[in-house]
Amino acid sequence: MSKIKLALLGSFAVFFAAVLTNNMAIAQEAQHAGSINIYESQIRNPEELQVYMDVTPRKENPLMKLSEAGRHTFIKGLIWTGEGVGSLNTYPLQIELSTPQAKNVLTLFGLQDLTSTIMKDNSNNGVSANAADDTVAPMLHHCLVLENYRCQLPASCRASFTDICMACLCGAQQTE
């Protein structure tokens, strides 16, 4: 075989090994997916979020516990579907909030069961992420969640660092 053919064959072998390694990493990552219950929520779309931000006093708004930059990143990272939030960026919650504060934010969107997944490395200040709430909202879905994935059109969860994709909501019609 000529040197060019050997070089091409070697390049293809490296390429296919990289593709296989990447697919195996994604498959291993997906194995770390969990499932949560998704509950009825106060905020189901961007319009309801805007109204909530406009009418809720700062001291009563859990989103105000985030810095301005963290709040902007979190809100811009929300992927809205016809049934609520299909995906969200977890980074601002992880770095800026305590476990109880993060749970209060997630509860606004019916995603309080994500608290222990998102805040697994943070101190909970003596409060369990799964502690019973005073009020229990009706459950709407039991949903597979994929860490480090983001909901993208038309209905797929794509690899994305610091995001979580709710697979059962990702297929719902997206809104802007």
Domain shared by 20 and 81, yes or no? no
- Phi then psi for residue 130, to 5 deg, are -105, 15
Is the pLDDT higher at 147 or at 32? 147
Residue 126 is inside which H or E element, if any?
none
Domain shared by 158 and 102, yes or no? yes
Mean pLDDT calculated for residue range 158-162: 92
Domain shared by 62 and 145, yes or no? yes
Tokens standing for residue 35: 């499932």
Domain shared by 67 and 86, yes or no? yes
Range of the domain at 13: 1-31
pTM above 0.75, yes or no: no
Q: Are 115 and 164 in contact (CB under 8 A)?
A: no
140 three-class SS: strand
According to the model, what pLDDT value does residue 127 have?
41
According to the model, what pLDDT value does residue 42 have?
92
Q: What is the count of structural domains for the chain?
A: 2
Dist CA 70 CA 92 (whole Å) = 5
Dist CA 55 CA 77 (whole Å) = 22
Q: Looking at the predicted structure, is the pLDDT value of residue 89 above 80?
A: yes
At residue 20 the predicted structure's pLDDT band, cuts being 50, 70 and 90, is: very low
Domain shared by 70 and 143, yes or no? yes
According to the model, what pLDDT value does residue 106 have?
98
Is the pLDDT higher at 144 or at 15? 144
Q: Looking at the predicted structure, is the pLDDT value of residue 44 above 50?
A: yes
Mean pLDDT calculated for residue range 121-141: 51
Domain shared by 60 and 27, yes or no? no
Determine how many CB atoms are found less than 10 A away from the CB of residue 91: 16
- Count the residues in the chain: 176
